[in-house]
Amino acid sequence: MIPVFLLALVVAVKVFKKTTPNGKITVYLGKRDFIDHLDHVDPIDGIIVVDNDYLKGRKIYGQVTTTYRYGREEDEVMGVKFSKEIILAREQIVPPAHHEDKQDLTAVQDKLLKKLGPNAYPFTFKFPPASPCSVTLQPGEDETSKPLGVEYVVKTFVADGADDRGHKRSSVALAIKKLQYAPPSRGRRLPSSLVSKGFTFSQGKINLEVTLDKEIYYHGEKIGANVTVNNNSRKAVRNIKVYCVQHCEVTMVNAQFSRHVASLETREGCPITPGASFTKTFYLVPLASSNKDRRGIALDGYLKDDDVNLASSTLIAEGKAPNEAMGIVISYSLRVKLNCGTLGGELQTDVPFKLLHPAPGSGDAREQKALKKGKSQERSRYENSHYADDDEDNIVFEDFARLRLNEPDD
Ligand SMILES: *[C@@H]1O[C@H](CO)[C@@H](O)[C@H](O)[C@H]1NC(C)=O
Ligand SMILES: *[C@@H]1O[C@H](CO)[C@@H](O)[C@H](O)[C@H]1NC(C)=O
């Protein structure tokens, strides 16, 4: 016999669901975030349940589309479009077009099929290789048009044939995200940079060395930068500025821009005596929450979610050039700038680092969750629901629409 206290700790499976406006069809997905592991991407695995006698010979199709918006809607004139929509996959789900092998089903599909009965049908879609990750560029405070970025939507509709697009009342669209996570090891290399500057009308140089305490940071973690300034000059450093810079490359239009997502300024240690050096560790925490309403900041997926974070660094599979990655390529650097006065100019260096989520299930992932705890009511409530033993089969259903305000309504 299993002791009662053990039963209470059985972890529930969380499932997202959404029903068509006419209430006849419900789509279930085991997750909303799908991970690109570089050598493979999580399959989009779901279940569709249809009311008895509703179809009357019609079929249910499913498709995955991606929308890549690389220019503003209001700048679209004379039929020029700054977005591209691609259907990545389309398939007949009901009646099943091909026999789905039982061992090909994921654990969630298996569980749902058992629970939801004979009118439940599994479906599986795959992201094509090299499909870009979900990114949203934050619109300005008073902007109402569609944000720039890469979005994915799973849609199902009822139709007589594959060319028929179906009706809204029997269709359902679920916005999903494709994300990348940090590799299991964060690496041992400490990114570092050393630059120096001479001056036209005065002798000697100022040297600046910056070393970061990690190569890969997790969202919410503080970045420690050791800054050493060596004074062999007669110039005065007015101040030291430290920035976290988010670099964003919009591939389709070959546009590149950078935004400061965290910064600090100090006069500490100035002036530095000749021949001497000044060393200090500066800390910055780049967060989406401290960049609210700032136009053009790149975020992971859409922004109305409570735990939205800055866009993760884009990871490129080995042997691939970064420009082969369609979509929006994100990278980060820590920038240190010495202001040497009007005549002296500036001495600046950038040290690249990566900003990512820890791989789910890793010890680091649990640590990061603990870090976030208390910050978001919604999130802790959601986490608790994992342990709620209120469902006989330990499946917790959550309405898909509730957390997604930007759903395409077509
Ligand atoms: C930064 O400086 C501190 C104090 O000098 C030192 O203990 C630490 O190892 C340094 N870290 C890096 C990454 O260089
Ligand atoms: C370097 O030393 C000179 C004195 O020789 C001083 O005038 C100058 O302000 C110092 N520079 C910095 C960067 O502190």
Using DSSP's 3-state secondary structure scheme, residue 97 falls into coil
Q: Which two tokens stand for residue 311?
A: 């866009």
Task: Please indicate whether the domains covering 13-180 and 192-356 agree at the CATH topology level.
Answer: yes
The pLDDT tens digits for 256-271 are: 999 999 999 998 877 7
How many Å apart are CA 44 and CA 62, to the nearest integer?
11
Q: Where are the domains of the chain?
A: 13-180, 192-356
CA of 212 to the centre of ligand 1 (A): 9
Give the atom of ligand 2 at the shortest distance from the alpha carbon of 229.
Answer: 13
Provide the mean pLDDT of the chain: 82
Answer whether 271 contacts ligand 2 (Cβ < 6 A).
yes
pLDDT category of residue 355 using cuts at 50, 70 and 90: very high
Domain 192-356, second-level architecture: Sandwich (2.60)
More confident residue, 320 or 139: 139
Per-residue pLDDT, 237: 84
The pLDDT tens digits for 290-311 are: 998 889 999 987 655 556 899 9
Q: Which of 206, 228, 235 to mutate to test the pocket of ligand 2 (most atoms within 8 A of CB)?
A: 235
Q: Which two tokens stand for residue 79?
A: 């039929």
Answer whether 190 contacts ligand 1 (Cβ < 6 A).
yes
Rounded to whole angstroms, the maximal C-alpha distance in the chain is 89
How many Å apart are CA 69 and CA 85, to the nearest integer?
8
Give the atom of ligand 1 at the shortest distance from the alpha carbon of 224.
Answer: 13
Per-residue pLDDT, 376: 41
CA of 226 to the centre of ligand 1 (A): 6
Mean pLDDT throughout 214-230? 95
pLDDT category of residue 249 using cuts at 50, 70 and 90: very high
Answer whether 213 contacts ligand 1 (Cβ < 6 A).
yes
Nearest to 133 by CA among 169, 164, 176: 176
Whether the CA torsion 336, 331, 254, 309 is positive or negative: it is: negative
> What predicted TM-score, i.e. pTM, was given to this entire model?
0.82
Length of the chain: 410
Mean pLDDT throughout 336-351? 89
Counting ligands in written order, the one closest to the CA of 214 is 1
> Which protein residue has the closest C-alpha to ligand 1 atom 13?
213
The pLDDT tens digits for 40-83 are: 899 999 999 999 889 998 999 999 999 998 888 777 777 778 88
Answer whether 234 contacts ligand 2 (Cβ < 6 A).
yes
Mean pLDDT throughout 307-320? 84
* pLDDT surpassing 90 at residue 280: yes
Counting ligands in written order, the one closest to the CA of 211 is 1
* pLDDT surpassing 70 at residue 1: no
DSSP 125-145: E-PPTTPPPPEEEPPPTT--S
DSSP 186-233: --S---EEEEEEEETTEEEEEEEEEEES-SEEETTPPEEEEEEEEE-S
Q: Span 13-180: which CATH code?
A: 2.60.40.840
CA of 224 to the centre of ligand 2 (A): 26
Answer whether 206 contacts ligand 2 (Cβ < 6 A).
yes
Answer whether 211 contacts ligand 1 (Cβ < 6 A).
yes
CA of 273 to the centre of ligand 2 (A): 5
* pLDDT surpassing 60 at residue 402: no
CA of 245 to the centre of ligand 2 (A): 29
CA of 257 to the centre of ligand 2 (A): 35
